[in-house]
């Protein structure tokens, strides 16, 4: 297809892949913290990973905006819509690869926490990972994903973990994309439509804050205190990751209705 020669599209595609890959493997920090008995340190390092993800998103945004502006100017809205669906596919691929490399990055994160515990500095730990021996350590760490799946554990996983992670994945994936497409549906109110991306993302944030995060955090505490087995937490994480993966697939169905909803809300605001 011709749009694969669009450099802006390719940049957005690969950065989206990277963001969702990082978001998926970052869950391994929870296990690395438990295994090193430095759980609070692992949560702090999770903020570093989140920062990398946010910086990647900042780099991506101008390319996405430029891609949409050019498509609107040239009247290629159908192609733009198709490009957005491919960008959603990039998020699915990022999650999928992240799941396959989850155990690999768990080992890497264990090493990261241990190095940080010695060096007491983020910059020095990053420098450490540029040493040749760190590259060979990563190669040796590559292994198949291991989640210790058991039927009795899976049955005990709270259902809220699955449905909330699925909905969160769907809404987070489409938040900006739906808003930016809404801006070409109602071009006269493009700025308002783009700003309203917070509506879709807000739903995901509410679901995460109220339903998903407290449940997983509580189970993590029980595992850390010895009240639950680590294998049970792996099963919880598996359900969480599968839900997030399915959410990126569900995003294809949420994207266009979300764009229409934002466009309609934009029109309502314009009449106030």
Quote the pTM value: 0.94
Assigned token pair, 7? 């450099």
Give the pLDDT confidence of 231-247 residue by residue, as tens digits.
999 999 999 999 999 99
The Cα 138–Cα 117 span in angstroms is: 19
| Ranges of H-type helices in 120-158 | 122-128, 132-141, 151-156
**Percentage, residues of the chain above pLDDT 70:** 99
Q: What radius of gyration, in Å, describes the C-alpha atoms of the chain?
A: 20
The Cα 80–Cα 177 span in angstroms is: 11
Structural contact between residues 15 and 60, judged by C-beta atoms closer than 8 angstroms: yes
What integer pLDDT is reported at residue 98 of this predicted model? 97
Name the band, by pLDDT with cuts 50, 70 and 90, for residue 1: low
The structural domains of the chain, with segments of one domain joined by +, span: 1-145, 148-272
């Amino acid at each position: 297809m011709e749009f694969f020669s669009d450099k802006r599209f390719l940049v957005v595609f690969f950065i989206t892949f990277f963001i969702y890959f990082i978001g998926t493997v970052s869950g391994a920090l929870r296990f690395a913290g438990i295994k090193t008995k430095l759980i609070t340190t692992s949560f702090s390092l999770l903020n570093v990973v989140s920062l990398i993800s946010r910086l990647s998103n900042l780099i991506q945004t101008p390319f996405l905006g430029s891609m949409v502006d050019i498509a609107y100017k040239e009247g290629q809205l159908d192609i733009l819509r198709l490009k957005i669906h491919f960008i959603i596919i990039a998020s699915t691929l990022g999650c999928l690869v992240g799941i396959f490399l989850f155990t690999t990055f768990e080992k890497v994160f264990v090493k990261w926490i241990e190095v940080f515990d010695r060096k007491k500095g983020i910059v020095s730990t990053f420098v450490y990972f540029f040493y040749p021996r760190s590259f060979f350590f990563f190669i040796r760490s590559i292994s198949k994903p291991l989640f210790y799946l058991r039927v009795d554990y899976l049955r005990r996983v709270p259902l809220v973990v699955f449905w909330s992670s699925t909905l969160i994945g769907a809404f987070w994936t489409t938040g900006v994309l739906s808003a930016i497409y809404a801006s070409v549906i109602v071009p006269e109110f493009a700025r308002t439509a783009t700003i309203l991306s917070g509506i879709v993302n807000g739903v995901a944030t509410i679901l995460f804050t109220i339903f998903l995060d407290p449940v997983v955090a509580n189970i993590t505490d029980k595992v850390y205190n010895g009240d639950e087995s680590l294998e049970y937490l792996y099963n919880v994480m598996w359900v969480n990751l599968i839900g997030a993966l399915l959410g990126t697939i569900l995003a294809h169905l949420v994207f266009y209705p979300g764009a229409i909803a934002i466009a309609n809300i934009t029109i309502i605001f314009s009449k106030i």
